[in-house]
A and B are shown apart, each in its own frame.
Chain A
Amino acid sequence: MAIDQLPAGIFAATSHVGIIGYAAAMMVGVLAWRTRTRRHAEIQQYRAAQAIVDTELAERLDELKHSAAENIRLRAELADARRQRSDDTQHQVALAQSTSAQTARLMAGNRVLDGAIGEQVRVVVSDSEAAAMTLITQVRVLNDTAASLLGCLGKSDESFTQMHRSIDETVASLATVINFVDRLPELIRSDVELVHAAASKEVDDLGGLVKIIVDISRQTTMLAVNAAILAAHAGDAGIGFAIIADEVRQLSVRSSEAATRIEQGLVAAKGAMLDGLEVCHIDEQVAEARTLMSVIHDLQGNYVEVQRYYGSLFGVVSEHNRELASGISELLGNVQYQDVVRQRIERVESAVERRNEIFGLLPQAVADVGDDLFRLPDQLEEVREDYVRGERQHATVVSGGGGNDKDLPKFELF
């Protein structure tokens, strides 16, 4: 707007303002009237409410007075109660302290008792371990003895078998000898007869020759006698011839005597030969050999019986030894229970130790009568749960199944 137009503008503006002011004044008047009216109503309401409030306040005041009196009474009672409680509290504190002291003594005694029991349990575990070791050692000796016995029986059985084989061979050889001996008399008899026949013939032949010699000797003797007679007739010329004749006669006599002795010797020799070739004794010896063979056969039979019995005995002992070995094996397995029990005892000892730690807190917790006392049962329960959970992990299972966790087998190959 230009400067020269300012006064008109100002006038217009002033007019407008006047109108507006008038309107505003009108509105304010109306508003004031309305407000005054409303305020009046409100004041009336307020006064009514005030009256009600006054009434209620009066009632409340009465109540307060009663309450105050009651409050005073209650305060008095509270003071009495406090005094009483203080007395009780002191009494309870004294009682708690006494209980705490008793509990502490009890816990100390419990620890001592647990210590003594634990000591004995450890002794029991140690003794059981020593006994198990001794048992294992003795069982091993038993097994070695049984094995040694079986070994000796086995060797004896082998020796018996070898001996039986030797006896069989010996019996076979003896049978061959006996067969030969059995035929021997016949052979000897045959040879004897041959020898006898040959010897008799020779002796007889020699006897014939002896006869001839005797005849010749007789004739020579006769000839010598005749020659002596003729020599005697010859006189001196026959002396030499007579001597020779005499010598011839003596020679003939000696020849005859020798021939006679030879004949006698031949007869004696023949008789002796016949006596020596007598077969009666051989038959007796063959009979004795047959008797011996029979005895040996009986002995062989008895030996077979003994070996058969021994074989049965060996079989029975072997079977029992196998059963013994099996029993020993199972026994050694059952000795493992000592270790299982030892571990169970160790887990019990661990749980008892934790329990005693909690019990160790009890005296102070009783004395304090604070939250710690009320936490102790939960802690104890935790110990119980841990122990039970731990025992489940080591639950005994039976062979082939039947365990606590879904029938897990005792042995499992992956």
Chain B
Amino acid sequence: MTKLILVVDDSATMVMSVRNNLEIAGFTVETASDGVQAMTKLKGGTKPDLIITDINMPNMGGMELIKNVRALPAFRFTPILTLTTESQADKRQEGKKLGATGWLVKPVGGGDLLKIIKQVLPGA
């Protein structure tokens, strides 16, 4: 059964780029344009095996999304990767403290992204 990945980013280019990359590699992909939309999908029954999220988004940013996702019992252990232009140590620590699994700085090559996903998703 193919793994489902939820990609959250307010940039249409980013969403399309990552989505196509993952679909070519054989994953099923759902997308959301901000944290609010993502939470709606998660509470509505979408059960991703992995969440990839941007940090700077309108309505609900990535940090708040991570915090809210970890508060849902069903997603306490779902891997969450951030994909952002933020690169400083303090932001990384904040993300780690809130429950992020990993920190990726844009732009990320397709090959690198798939390697990292294979590390956090056993069986991918």
Question: Measuring CB to CB, which residues of chain A are less than 8 angstroms from any residue of chain B?
Answer: 129, 132-133, 136, 139-140, 143, 325-326, 328-340, 342-343, 392-397, 399, 403-406, 408, 410-414
Which B residues, 14 to 54, have Cβ-Cβ distances below 8 Å to chain A? 14, 16-18, 20-21, 24-25
Report the interface size for chain B: residues with CB under 8 A from the other chain. Answer: 39
Which of A329, A339, A393, A408 makes the CB contact (< 8 A) with B110?
A: A329
Closest to A343 in B: B85
Report whether A393 and B88 are in contact in the complex, using a CB–CB cutoff of 8 Å.
Answer: yes
Would you give the shortest CB distance from B32 to chain A, in whole angstroms? Answer: 16
* Residue B106 at the chain A interface, CB threshold 8 Å: yes
- Give the complex CA separation of A331 and B108 in angstroms: 10
Closest to A140 in B: B20
Q: Is the interface of A mostly helix, strand, loop or mixed?
A: helix
Contacts of B20 in A (CB 8 A): 136, 139-140, 332
Contacts of A325 in B (CB 8 A): 24
Closest to A338 in B: B13
Which of B12, B89, B105 makes the CB contact (< 8 A) with A411?
A: B105
Which of A330, A340, A342, A396 makes the CB contact (< 8 A) with B109?
A: A330
Report whether A414 and B101 are in contact in the complex, using a CB–CB cutoff of 8 Å.
Answer: yes
Interface membership of chain B positions 97-120, coded 1 if the CB is closer than 8 angstroms to chain A and 0 otherwise: 000111111111111111010011
Contacts of A397 in B (CB 8 A): 87, 105
Contacts of B92 in A (CB 8 A): 408, 412
Report whether A394 and B104 are in contact in the complex, using a CB–CB cutoff of 8 Å.
Answer: no
Closest to A131 in B: B13
Closest to B89 in A: A405
- Give the complex CA separation of A329 and B112 in angstroms: 9
* Residue B3 at the chain A interface, CB threshold 8 Å: no
Report whether B17 and A335 are in contact in the complex, using a CB–CB cutoff of 8 Å.
Answer: yes
Contacts of B25 in A (CB 8 A): 329
Contacts of A333 in B (CB 8 A): 17, 21, 107-113
Which of A139, A336, A393 makes the CB contact (< 8 A) with B87?
A: A393
Closest to A334 in B: B107
- Give the complex CA separation of A339 and B106 in angstroms: 9
Report whether B13 and A328 are in contact in the complex, using a CB–CB cutoff of 8 Å.
Answer: no
Which of B11, B100, B114 makes the CB contact (< 8 A) with A339?
A: B11
Report whether B108 and A336 are in contact in the complex, using a CB–CB cutoff of 8 Å.
Answer: yes
Report whether A393 and B13 are in contact in the complex, using a CB–CB cutoff of 8 Å.
Answer: no
- Give the complex CA separation of A316 and B56 in angstroms: 44
Would you give the shortest CB distance from A111 to chain B, in whole angstroms? Answer: 26
Contacts of B110 in A (CB 8 A): 328-333
- Give the complex CA separation of A405 and B86 in angstroms: 12
Query: If A330-B110, A393-B87, A393-B88 touch, does A412 touch B17 (CB 8 Å cutoff)?
Result: no
